[in-house]
Amino acid sequence: MAKIKIKFICTDCGTEAPKWLGKCPGCGAWNTMVEEKETVVRTQGVGLGQIEKKEKPVPIISIQGEQEPRIETKMVELNRVLGGGVVPGSLVLVGGDPGIGKSTLLLQASHALASKGLKVLYISGEESVRQTRLRADRLGALAETLYVLCETSVSAIGEAIDAVQPDFLVIDSIQTVYAPSIESAPGSVAQVRECTAHFMRVAKVRGIATVLVGHVTKEGAIAGPRLLEHMVDCVLYFEGERHHAYRLLRAVKNRFGSTNEIGIFEMGEAGLREVSNPSELFLSERSLGVSGATVVASMEGTRPVLVELQALVATTNFPSPRRMSAGIDHHRMALIIAVLEKRMGMFLQNQDAYLNVAGGVKLDEPAVDLAAAVSLASSFRDVPTKPDDVIFGEIGLTGEVRGVARAEQRVREAQKLGFGRVIMPEKSLKGWKKPKGIEIVGVSTVSEALAAALG
């Protein structure tokens, strides 16, 4: 006998509850519990000892280790984010704001793989095949082995997979696909979880590299339960401002490569164009001879990226000064301001402070602390920094400058772009050979860094 059981699931974290709750007991979010019907099938006489065992545990040293094969696309930036290319049998989730260019990116990637002779099946649940053809004409993504289908039923998509036998599968998007066996509407927690689990089995059993497009919420997270990100092998976020031409593809989870890797693209009339040297892009419009502007060398995955930090410190007439940051965590900014006040004697309690990362990049590593401190001090004292300086380092609460990883790569990137001096932690000078043609200044405290940068 099949019994229908009603439960409530949090759309943010996937916590289950027997009744509706205003606040999720798992993550603490409000109004995220949604109703879901579950069909429970009762079986008799089935115990743990009666379950059929198909496989037996084996020692890990007896398992033959093999390098995962890669299918390289013609898009170098996409290969970098994926860890070297597409892995057969992998399940990739791509999220981003509406209109940011997710479908454009995947259609160009599909064409790149189809042009190599691979069979690609592009399932569109939001656009008709004619609309997809119009986009393909604009992008020049026309190949004989690129198959397009407008379908939302899992069973119909399964029949198409059996007919085409693709090497690469795109589902655009997972929120529009539904399983007929589930009573809830497409896009619900039950449908998204069941459809993702179905495509995961298809990818693993048949060895088809599968990409799922996911909608995002107003907070920027991928819609659906958090379980969706745990099920897939790779999670990519396509970021960027709709009013700007540049897009960032960021990996936040990757079982086949490094995380926090980014790929940079420029949106044009003919689709997305790769940006091979992002440092030149972010520094193309930087300010020279202006107080509050510094250049920091940040690591995005395995790639060093030079970006400009801009700070503005101005006197306020209000009792509580404002602290605003874009591209840097505002809690980190408050910590840096506190260090400047306590250790450097700067009176910033009556000053508004604004900190911005030019180009729309988000920097989340502590190596940008020293450059942020120099920018704030430069704007407060109204003393410009030298235009050929690059600064990086982590700041401690006692005012010391801590060492950071991959200092050699940061210095060589600065040298390649023509900078003349690098101000960096003294503890990071050991273990590598200094390149010629660039001056390196090692500092151990914030006061030494400000003396070297601001004279």
Q: Which residues are annotated as a binding site for ATP?
A: 96-103
**The residue to which tokens 């010629």 are assigned:** 436
Check if the beta carbon of residue 93 is closer than 8 Å to that of residue 171. Answer: no
**One-letter amino acid of 343:** R
**Element housing 374 (H / E):** helix 369-381
What is the C-alpha to C-alpha distance for residues 370 and 290, in angstroms, rounded to an integer? 18
Q: Which residues are annotated as a binding site?
A: 96-103
Q: Which of 272, 372, 260 is nearest to 312 (CA)?
A: 372
Q: Are 275 and 77 in contact (CB under 8 A)?
A: yes
Q: Which two tokens stand for residue 138?
A: 């604009």
Q: Which amino acid is at 132?
A: T
Q: Compute how many other C-beta atoms are within 10 angstroms of the C-beta atom of residue 192.
A: 28
| C-alpha distances out from residue 293 to 65, 296, 308, 326, 354, Å | 50, 10, 7, 14, 12
Query: Do 107 and 122 meet the contact criterion of CB atoms below 8 Å apart?
Result: yes
β-sheet bridge partners, residue 123: 149, 171
Maximal CA-CA distance, the chain: 83
Q: Which two tokens stand for residue 221?
A: 């997270």
Q: What are phi and psi of 229, to 5 degrees?
A: -75, -25
Q: How far is CA 68 from the centre of its chain?
A: 22
Residues 353/385, Cβ–Cβ less than 8 Å: no
Q: Report how far residue 318's alpha carbon sits from residue 347's, in angstroms, rounded to the nearest whole number.
A: 15
Q: Any idea what DSSP says for residue 386? A: P
Helix then strand then coil, % of the chain, to nearest 5: 30, 30, 40
Is there a contact between 269 and 275 (Cβ–Cβ < 8 Å)? no
Pairwise CA distance, residues 33 & 355, whole Å: 37
Q: How far is residue 95's CA from residue 221's CA, in Å, rounded to a whole number?
A: 8
65: phi then psi, degrees, rounded to nearest 5: -85, 130
